[in-house]
Amino acid sequence: MKQLLALAASALALTAATPALAQDMVVTNAKLVIGDGSDPIEGGVVIVDDGKVVFAGKPAAGQTFSTAVVVDAGGAYVTPGIFATVTTLGLSDVSAVEETNDITARGTPFSAALDASTAINPTSQHILVHKAAGITRAATTMLPSGSIFAGQGAIIDLDGDANPVVQARAFQMISLGENGADRAGGSRSAAHALLRAALREAQALAGKPGIPQTTAIDKADEVLLSRFDAEALVPVVTGKQKLYVDAERMADIRAVLALKQEFPKLDLVLVGATEGWLVAKEIAAAGVPVIANGLIDLPETFEQLGATQSNAGRLAEAGVKVAINAATLQNPRRLQQVAGNLVALTKVPGATGMSWGQAFAAISSVPAEISGMGGKSGVLKPGAAGDVVIWTEDPLEAGAVPTKVFIAGVEQDLTNHQTRLRDRYKDLDESNRPEAYDW
């Protein structure tokens, strides 16, 4: 049932007179986080109409809105949904159980042409569990296995419906550095040669109309790149599709930035970039955003010798656009915890952290912008998706979880395998019947 809501102190006469869609809703009395790096707003309001934010902020006197759903947040934190990048959400059930794992594909002759959007399972428990953790959208991708090319990643939403893919083929993901070298045959040079050969093939194909044949390109080792793969790189080399490059070492990062000299249209994004802080000014000058490892502080490989938790903060301080990388976390629902740790660093002498607003932006609006979803996700501003999360406490605090999650204005069911186990084992009383009857 729809009701006319008069928003207490304000004047924004909002006659959002759209029909009674489920995607209309209003959250009041919020400690409102816009997600753009600004400080929380006490007594904030979010209005979602037809699945999109139409207002978020301090309400003006007399402001009204017609809606079926009014949620009083009771002063709790209200934020945009977390935008997780880079993830593999929806591509496996149990990563170590090969049958369920679509993240890697060692046996395929294809590489760059692989399209993660064709394999997303919207009801994967990982999607349901992470939705309950406040993640509403994610950049999800396969990982490089048979080649330096992982294939094309997708932007997905986590509402579990039939259409999880917000944008297919949003980016191509490749691995340089140690991992890429290994995939390419054992040397960084091999990885760079393969990349250049592939991009040149794509340049040669660019602008050629018609349905191409998927025969192998005529080259010495044709398994490296099929025609289909070369075609998939056309949007990369023409700058229409982003190129996410996983690189860690200072020298590897420089080599990535240098690619623009040969392929000027590349729309580069660095992923990982453990030693990015050592070349922060160069990255900033190149205007390349970074999806940075947040808390990696050990030389886990020789390409991470300079690892420090201050990496993300120092990059941001140099003017680089920085999101936090989910790929190196135990699971992406730890993004909020990583962001909280970056805030904690501001109290550690010698360390560089982030302000609270900046850290939250690094898991919401910034990754959305990097993914090409700027203004559409990860932020509560007019026109953005109505992904709204109400939290138990400060969302960057250890243990914070959502009490309610809305995706495109629709309240989500937060039930999943884990909540069902939790409910069953609230007690161990089997005096009447075994636990199997408790459901």
Partner 1 sequence: MFADKTTRGRFAALMTLASAIALSACTTTGDGAKPESASAKPDKTFAATPAGDPVFASTYKPFPNISTAIKGATIYDGRGGMIRNGVVFMSGGKIVSVGGPDTPIPADIAVFDGTGKFVTPGIIDIHSHLGDYPSPGVEAHSDGNEATAPTTPEVWAEHSVWPQDPGFSRALANGGITALQVLPGSANLMGGRSVTLKNVPSRTVQGMKFPEAPYSMKMACGENPKRVYGARGRMPSTRMGNFAVNRETWLAAIDYANDPKTKRDLAKETLVGVLKGEILIQNHCYRADEMALVLDMAKEMGYKVAAFHHAVEAYKIGDLLKENDVCSAIWADWYGFKMESYDGIMENAAFLQREGACVVIHSDDQNDIQRLNQEAAKAQAAGKRVGIDIPDATVIGWLTYNAAKAMGIADKTGSLETGKMADVVLWNGDPLSVYSRPEKVWIDGALMFDAMNPKTRPVSDFELGQPGEGDVK
Residues near partner 1 (CB under 8 A) are: 93-97, 125-126, 129, 250, 275, 278, 295-302, 304-310, 328-331, 333-334, 337, 340-341, 343-344, 347-351, 392, 396-401, 417-418, 421-422, 425-426, 428, 435
CB of 293 or CB of 412, closer to partner 1:
293
C-beta atoms surrounding 78 within 10 Å: 28
In angstroms, the CA 90 to CA 98 distance is 14
CB of 107 to partner 1, least distance (A): 18
CA–CA distance, 269 with 67 (Å, rounded to integer): 40
DSSP one-letter code for 41: E
Supply the minimum distance, in Å, between the C-beta of residue 250 and partner 1.
7
Query: Which residue(s) pair with 80 in the sheet?
Result: 388
Smallest distance, Å, CB 413 to partner 1?
17
Q: What b-and-e string marks burial along 6-34, b requiring 16 or more CB atoms within 10 Å of the CB?
A: ebeebebebebeeeeeebbbbbbbbbbbb
Shortest distance, position 20 Cβ to partner 1, whole Å: 33
Nearer residue to partner 1 within complex by CB, 231 or 248: 248
- Rank residues 130 and 381 by Cβ distance to partner 1 and give the closer one: 130
Structure tokens at 427: 């007690």
Pairwise CA distance, residues 283 & 277, whole Å: 9
Sheet holding 135-140, edge to edge: 82-87, 135-140, 149-157, 165-175, 242-247, 267-272, 290-292, 322-324
CA angle 340, 343, 344 (to 5 degrees): 90
Nearer to partner 1, 59 or 340 (CB): 340
CB nearer to partner 1: pick between 241 and 309: 309
Give me the least distance between CB of 426 and partner 1, in Å please: 6
Nearest Cα to Cα of residue 335 among 127, 132, 82, 40: 82
**Residue 221 or 423 with smaller CB distance to partner 1:** 423
Question: How many Å apart are CA 203 and CA 234, to the nearest integer?
Answer: 6
The residue (of 70 and 305) whose beta carbon lies closer to partner 1 is 305
Pick the closest to residue 351 from 297, 279, 283, 276 (CA basis).
297
**Least distance from C-beta 179 to partner 1, angstroms?**
13
Instruction: Determine contact, residues 284/316, Cβ cutoff 8 Å.
Output: no
Helix (H, G, I), strand (E, B) or coil at 45: strand
* Minimum CB distance to partner 1, residue 93 (Å): 8
Smallest distance, Å, CB 171 to partner 1?
21
Question: Measured from the CB of residue 175, what is the shortest distance to partner 1 in angstroms?
Answer: 15
- Select 66 or 293, whichever has its Cβ closest to partner 1: 293
Phi, psi of 112 (to 5 degrees): -60, -25
Amino acid at 289: P
Q: Specify whether the CB–CB gap between 170 and 150 falls below 8 A.
A: no
- Whose Cβ is closer to partner 1: residue 1's or residue 96's? 96
- Least separation in angstroms between CB 143 and partner 1: 10
Whichever of 221 and 300 has its CB closer to partner 1, that residue is: 300
Of 48 and 291, the one with the shorter C-beta distance to partner 1 is: 291
Q: Which of 93, 146, 96 is nearest to 120 (CA)?
A: 93
The token duo for 312 is 């993300």
- What is the rounded distance in angstroms from the CA atom of residue 245 to the CA atom of residue 372? 16
Tally of helices (H runs) and strands (E runs) in the chain:
12, 18
How far, in Å, CA of 358 to CA of 272, rounded?
Answer: 19
We find the least distance from the C-beta atom of residue 142 to partner 1, in angstroms, to be: 15
